[in-house]
């Protein structure tokens, strides 16, 4: 009886340890999934905003109601990714938006980066900046 009780105790401790690990993994996946949804939403907003400044970092925080009370924010940068063969005003260029989304997991700051691309029209004031070597 003592041997059976000991074996049962060891099995129960192992089972509880496994359940604790699974709970931690589920929590981490829930945080990551929430961050992915927030990143998709922010990237869609950035892709549609034609007034974004080029080569400038913009950032902000997410509403705590959207993050489940977790502190989270974002940082984005818009750059010209590819130019046409002729760099003249009103030609199409390809822009890249790099978006970093971060959130706090306890005392750790976690993040990931998402890239998006869109076409834009080169304005006359862009020509001098993009034609110069960078």
Give all domains of the chain, ordered by start, each with its CATH number. Answer: 2-131 (3.30.1300.30)
Model confidence at 101: pLDDT above 70: yes
Q: How far apart are CA 43 and CA 45, in angstroms?
A: 5
**C-alpha dihedral sign at 60, 66, 72, 78:** negative
Q: Which residue has the higher pLDDT, 87 or 40?
A: 40
**C-alpha dihedral sign at 28, 33, 38, 43:** positive
Sheet holding 72-82, edge to edge: 57-61, 72-82, 92-105, 108-121
pLDDT for the residue 8: 84
Q: How far apart are CA 36 and CA 62, in angstroms?
A: 13
Task: Kindly report which listed range (3-17, 63-77, 98-112) carries the lowest average pLDDT score.
Answer: 3-17
Q: Which residue has the higher pLDDT, 63 or 133?
A: 63
Q: Which residue has the higher pLDDT, 130 or 77?
A: 77
CA distances from 47 to 41, 42, 64, 104, 127 (A): 10, 9, 23, 26, 22
């Amino acid at each position: 009886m003592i041997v059976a009780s000991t074996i049962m105790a060891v099995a129960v401790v192992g089972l509880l340890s496994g359940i604790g690990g699974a709970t931690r993994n589920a929590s981490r996946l829930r945080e990551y999934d929430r961050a992915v949804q927030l990143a998709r939403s922010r990237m869609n907003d950035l892709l549609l905003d034609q007034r974004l400044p080029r080569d400038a970092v913009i950032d902000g925080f997410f509403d705590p109601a959207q993050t489940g009370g977790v502190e989270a924010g974002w940082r984005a940068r818009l750059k010209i990714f590819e130019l046409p063969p002729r760099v003249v005003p009103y030609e199409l260029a390809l822009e890249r938006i790099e978006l970093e989304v971060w959130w706090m997991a306890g005392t750790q700051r976690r993040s990931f980066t998402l890239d998006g691309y869109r076409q834009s029209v080169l304005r006359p004031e862009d020509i001098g900046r993009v034609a110069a070597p960078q």
